Amino acid sequence: MNDNKPEKAILVGVELKSDAGFNFQASLQELQALTEAAGGEVAAVLVQSRERVHGATYIGKGKLEELKHLAAELEPDLIIFDNELSPVQLRNLEEALNIKIIDRTMLILDIFSQRAKSNEGILQVELARLQYQLPRLTGQGVTLSRLGAGIGTRGSGEQKLELDRRYIRQRIQDIKKRMQKVENTRKLHRVQRQRSGMKQVSLVGYTNAGKSSLFNTLCQTGHRSKTAQVKADQQLFRTLDTTIRKIRWADQKEILLTDTVGFIQNLPHHLVAAFKSTLEEVIEADLLLHVVDISDPDAADKIEVVEKVLWELGADSDRIVTVFNKSDLLQDPPDNSGPAIYVSARTGQGIDDLLKRLEIILF
C-alpha cells in the first residue's frame, strides 16, 4: 500500500432517539476530523436512527445490508464507527463485511500512537492500546492480520496476531512498572519546583481550541528564545506530550507555563487512565487556564466536556480562569474587566490583559 495515499473510510453513526441532549451531528463532524487527523479520507457517511444500538452488530440488519452494498461500491480500506464497539460487535461486523473495522476509541488511540514522542507518552499510549485490545483479541482477525495496514493498527502497541493474552498481560505489567518509575521522577521534579517557589500555570481545553497557539504567543512574549516552542495547527491532538517553559514579563514576574493534551467528548477511559499521572500534574498547577475557541458554534458543549473531565480529575474550580481565544473573530469583544479573558493568540489581542490577570492572581 502507498503510504502517501490516504486510506479511504466509510463512517457509521447511530443516532439514539433517547439521547435528546447529545449533539449527534457535531460528533459525526468530529469523527471526520479525527479520521483526517489519522491520515484517512472520508468516502461516505452512513447514519441510522434507533431506540438503542443493536447488541450484535451495532446497526440493524437492514442498515448492515446497506453498508455491505456501499462498501462493495466504494471499496474503502476501513469502516469507522462513531462509538466504542463491544468485542462481539467487532467480530460480527468483520465477519459480515470482511473489511477492517475500527471504532472511535481505536481511531483516537491510532492518532495518539502517531503523535507520542516522549518515552512516557509512548508508554502511556501503548498501555491504553493493549488494555483496549485485550478483551477484543478474538474479534480482531481482520484488523490484526493486516499488519502495518494503517489506521487502527499502527504505533508502539501494534502486535502480531500470534501474541496471546498472556503476553499482553505481561507487557501491561511491565509498562506499569516502567511508568511508576517515570511518575516517581515526575513527583520529585514537582517537589523541587514547589520548593523553588516557582508558580505553575497549565493550559487546558478541548482539542483544537488554540492552546498550543496561545502557548507559543506567551513564549514569544516572555521566553528567553522569543520563539514558538511547540507545533500548532488545525489538526486534532497536535499536542500530546506535555511541554513546560519558563516565561517572564516586564516587571520580572516568572512562571512555568505548561501546554497539555486536549480533551474530547467520549475520550477513551483507557487513555484517561494511562495519562492519569500527566493529567494529575496538570491539575495540581497553581492556576489552570481553560482555553476556549470562542468562534466555535459548539463552544458551550465543549466547555461542558472539559469541565466534566477536570471535575473528575479533582481540579479546584477556584483555580480555573476561562480564556476565550480567537476573539479577533468577534465583532465587538468584551473589555476583559469580567472574570473571563478574551484574547487572540494569532494577533496578540488581549495578551497584556491576560498577563496582568496572572500577576494579580499569582503574585
Cα dihedral 281, 283, 289, 295, rounded to 10, equals 100
The DSSP string of 121-140 is HHHHHHHHHHHHHGGGGGG-
| Amino acid code (one letter) for 27 | S
What residue ranges in the chain does DSSP mark as E strands? 7-16, 40-50, 78-81, 100-103, 199-205, 243-249, 253-259, 287-293, 320-325, 341-342
Binding residues for Mg(2+): 212, 239
276 three-state secondary structure: helix
Residue where the block lists cell 502497541? 157
Q: Which residues are annotated as a binding site for GTP?
A: 205-212, 237-241, 259-262, 325-328, 344-346
Widest Cα–Cα separation across the chain? 68
The sheet carrying 7-16 orders its strands as 40-50, 7-16, 78-81, 100-103
Query: Which segments of 197-234 does DSSP mark as H helices, in order?
Result: 211-222
Phi, psi of 8 (to 5 degrees): -90, 130
* Residue with the three cell numbers 473510510: 9
Distances (CA, A) of 72 to 152, 248, 255, 270, 305: 21, 59, 57, 34, 38
DSSP annotation of 84: P
Sign of CA dihedral 54, 58, 59, 62: negative
Annotated binding-site members: 205-212, 237-241, 259-262, 325-328, 344-346
Q: 226 with 250: CB under 8 angstroms?
A: no
